[in-house]
C-alpha cells in the first residue's frame, strides 16, 4: 500500500478521561504500523499531541497545520516533520483537507465538529471520496450518530448518506476500515443529493 496521509480531528484539552488519551496513543501506534502518515492541528496539548507522538514513534511522517494566532500562544509541537502556518481557521481546514487522503474524528469539541462536518458535506457533494471515520471512545459519538440518523429519517439527507461516514468502536476497527477502503474517485449525480418527489 502506498503511504496515505490521514487527518485526525481531536481535542486540545489536557483534562479528559484517561481513556481518550489511551485511545489516541493506540490509534497513533496502529496508524504508523499500518504505513499511514498523520495530518493534524499541530498542537502539543490534548489528544492531538498524544496521537502525534505515538504515530511519530511508529514511523509515521507528521504534518502539523495551525493558524498564526494559535501558534503565537506557544501550543505548537516542534516534532512535526512539516509544519504549516495559516492566516485563519478556514485556511487551516483547507490545508488539512489538501494534505489528507482520509479523515478520523476522535472525541472533541466544537472545532472537531466543525471540521468533520465540512468533510462530510464535501464528500456528499462529490468533491472527495475520503474515508471518514468516527472513533467512538466512551460512546462519545452516540448522540451524534442518532442525530445523523434523524437527519436521514426526516429526509434532510438521502438514505444513502449513512454511507458517507463510519462509526468505529476501537482504534483497531478504525485502521481496519482505512485499510479496506476503496479510495477510487466517485461521481455524484443530482439524484444522489436532491429529493424531487413531493410527499
Amino acid 2: pLDDT: 65
Q: How far apart are CA 60 and CA 5, in angstroms?
A: 9
CA distances from 116 to 8, 36, 173 (A): 9, 19, 19
Question: Per the domain annotation, does 198 fall within a domain?
Answer: no
Reported as a single tens digit per residue, the pLDDT across 126-159 is: 999 999 999 999 999 999 999 999 999 999 999 9
Amino acid 188: pLDDT: 86
The length of the chain in residues reads 199
Q: How far apart are CA 159 and CA 165, in angstroms?
A: 13
Domain hosting 44: range is 5-193
Question: Per the domain annotation, does 139 fall within a domain?
Answer: yes
Question: Per the domain annotation, does 199 fall within a domain?
Answer: no
167 φ/ψ angles, rounded to the nearest 5 degrees: -105, 125
Q: How far apart are CA 119 and CA 102, in angstroms?
A: 10
Amino acid 199: pLDDT: 53
Q: Domain holding 14: CATH number?
A: 3.40.50.450
How many structural domains are present in the chain?
Answer: 1
What is the pTM (predicted TM-score) of this model?
Answer: 0.94
Q: How far apart are CA 17 and CA 185, in angstroms?
A: 38
Question: Per the domain annotation, does 64 fall within a domain?
Answer: yes
Question: Per the domain annotation, does 115 fall within a domain?
Answer: yes
Question: Per the domain annotation, does 159 fall within a domain?
Answer: yes
| Cβ contact 48:79 at 8 Å | no
pLDDT, tens digit only, all 199 positions of the chain: 567 999 999 999 999 999 999 999 999 999 999 999 999 999 999 999 999 999 999 999 999 999 999 999 988 888 899 999 999 999 999 999 999 999 999 999 999 999 999 999 999 999 999 999 999 999 999 999 999 999 999 999 999 999 999 999 999 999 999 999 998 888 888 888 887 665 5
| Cβ contact 118:98 at 8 Å | no
Amino acid 186: pLDDT: 81
Q: How far apart are CA 196 and CA 79, in angstroms?
A: 51
Q: Of all residues in the chain, what percent are helix, strand and coil, respectively (each to 5)?
A: 45, 15, 35
Q: How far apart are CA 106 and CA 95, in angstroms?
A: 19
Question: Per the domain annotation, does 141 fall within a domain?
Answer: yes
Amino acid at each position: 500500500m502506498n503511504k496515505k496521509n490521514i487527518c485526525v480531528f481531536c481535542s486540545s484539552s489536557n483534562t479528559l478521561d484517561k481513556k481518550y488519551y489511551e485511545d489516541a496513543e493506540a490509534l497513533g501506534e496502529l496508524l504508523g504500523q499500518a504505513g499511514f502518515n498523520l495530518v493534524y492541528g499541530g498542537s502539543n496539548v490534548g489528544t492531538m499531541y498524544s496521537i502525534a507522538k505515538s504515530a511519530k514513534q511508529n514511523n509515521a511522517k507528521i504534518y502539523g497545520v495551525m493558524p498564526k494566532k494559535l501558534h503565537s500562544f506557544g501550543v505548537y509541537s516542534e516534532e512535526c516533520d512539516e509544519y504549516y502556518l495559516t492566516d485563519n481557521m478556514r485556511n487551516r481546514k483547507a490545508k488539512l483537507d489538501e494534505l489528507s487522503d482520509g479523515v478520523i474524528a476522535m472525541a472533541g469539541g466544537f472545532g472537531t465538529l466543525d471540521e468533520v462536518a465540512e468533510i462530510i458535506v464535501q464528500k456528499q457533494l462529490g468533491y472527495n471520496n475520503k474515508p471518514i471515520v468516527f472513533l467512538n471512545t466512551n460512546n462519545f459519538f452516540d448522540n451524534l450518530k442518532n442525530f445523523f440518523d434523524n437527519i436521514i429519517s426526516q429526509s434532510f439527507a438521502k438514505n444513502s448518506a449513512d454511507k458517507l461516514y463510519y462509526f468505529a468502536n476501537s482504534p483497531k476497527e478504525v485502521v481496519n476500515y482505512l485499510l479496506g477502503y476503496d479510495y477510487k474517485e466517485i461521481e455524484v449525480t443530482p439524484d444522489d443529493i436532491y429529493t424531487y418527489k413531493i410527499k
